Amino acid sequence: MSIASLLQGWTVREAVFVSLLTSTGYATACAIYNLYFHPLAKYPGPRLAAATRWWKAYIELVQGESINNRLFGLHEEYGDVVRMAPNELHFSDPAVYNEIYSPRSRWNKDETVYAPFGKDSSMFNTYDYRGAKRRRDLAAPHFSRKSVVNLQQYVQEGIDELCEVMAERAKEGKPSDIFRAWRCLDFDNVTSFCFGWSLHAVRESDFHAPAVEEMLQAGKDYMFWKHFSFLRALLPPPQVIWLLLNQLLKNRPYFKMILKLKEQVETYMAEPAELANAPHAVVFDALLNPAQSMKLTKGGVIEESNLFVVAGTDTTSNASAIGTMYALGGDGHIAKQLQAELRAAWPRLDEKPTLEVLETLPYLRAVCKESLRLSHGVISIMLRVVPPQGATLGGHFVPGGAKVGISNAMVHLNPTLFPDPHAFRPERWLEPGAELLDTWLVAFSKGPRSCLGINLAWCELQMNLANLFRRFDLELEGEKMHEMFAGKSPARPYDLWRDCFLPVYEGPDMLVRATPVAD
């Protein structure tokens, strides 16, 4: 007997009732299996988390809280391993970080975490290790230390432009929103470094650059797409999406930037000789190198390029903002010590030091490290899939196919590694034995899937803070800023930051008064 014949004569109400009953039965059976028979059933954690992945969705979408916040309390309650979804384990022991994200690990990324960014369109959202490595190897030469040292003048030019704008604001008696200022600067710097042009976002009114603001707002949709990524299956093919976007968003500033990239890519792919006319070596020299074994499509080159813009803007600007505000907070001793070191190494303002000189300044580097530690880099847990043979992590055997991870914040705020972990204290990086702490600075992650742009990020961070604190006398604007940045970060790492994979600041404007100094 066919299903069609069985359904004949059913009312709509009966059909809906049977559908709901079937769905409920299936969900109940899944929950029972997850609770009692799943390979991870022995691991402790909230019962709802073990039963269904929708527990985590409820916390992050309905309650609006990052699961990362909950994990600190969950580890206190359940121990060093917590089952936070039917097939997911989170660890609190920092030593496990180096096991999961080890250079020897070739583990794939978890689709759930990275699904909001699409699949296989760039090295970032290519889940399997081998495919991602092939893409990464294409761009790696442009982000090498040698390349960054050779192109540092373009980073300095962007900083000079920002300093001009801040000096103009000082004449007008206006404070600067340092969070947005750094975002605009790093947006300009990454496009200049990678593509050879800048949108001069730092010159937009009050640092509210439309393209940068749109990028910020787009990132806030991350949580929805993380939990409802299956809806992407309903979207039309990429070619149709591109045509629709071209009609709907053609006047939007960020999409205009994408169109500018598209035109640039089309030019270089059609006429490779045009690369010689770029103002300096650009990332397309590497991505379109005919000697490379892997050939990217036009869409692939555009997606990789867009990745560099997003990744190169958020993490460095967040660290620069954290470093600026905490250095000025409290009694200001951090800013004074930093300025004294910079004045000694940079006596004349018109003789700007190179990156190589700035790298020798111990207190500047310590401030940068502490800024990275308390800005965390990626804020979401970067889950990895255990290979089929399983793995032993922190003394616990985890079966193949399970998803595992440890958040950057769990390492950075570990009180054994970093006593008084919520305090912004650069001196911890200068104390005897401090070189061992470098192992536990994981803002750029570790292993084969770590941040490709680490050399550029370090260059920008050191040059950003050095120029700001050497060229200006700085003061936090308003009592609220003094209260927030009095030397302690929030008790929970995400109270002021929204988890959008990358952290998005949602506190009050980070206002700073900057007065230019003479030699």
Residues paired with residue 505 on neighbouring β-strands, in sequence order: 497
The two three-digit tokens of residue 149, written as one number: 């040292």
Which H or E run includes 14?
helix 12-36
451 is in an annotated binding site: yes
According to DSSP, residue 66 is labeled: -
Secondary structure E strands in 61-122 = 81-85, 88-91, 108-109
In Å, how far are 99, 303, 438, 445 from 452, measured between CA atoms? 20, 15, 18, 10
| One-letter amino acid for residue 474 of the chain | L
Cα-Cα-Cα-Cα dihedral sign, residues 157, 161, 166, 172: positive
User: What is the C-alpha to C-alpha distance for residues 132 and 123, in angstroms, rounded to an integer?
Assistant: 5
Q: Is 324 helix (H, G, I), strand (E, B) or coil?
A: helix
Question: Element (H or E) spanning 163, and its range?
Answer: helix 152-171
Taking alpha carbons only, the member of 419, 489, 434, 403 closest to residue 91 is 403
Query: Alpha carbon of 439 to those of 94, 319, 416, 421, 428: distances in Å?
Result: 10, 18, 14, 16, 14
Q: How far apart are CA 505 and CA 498, in angstroms?
A: 6
Distance in angstroms (rounded) separating the CA atoms of residues 385 and 393: 13
Nearest-angstrom CA–CA distance, 190 and 186:
6
DSSP 8-state assignment for residue 376: -
- As annotated, the binding site for heme includes 451
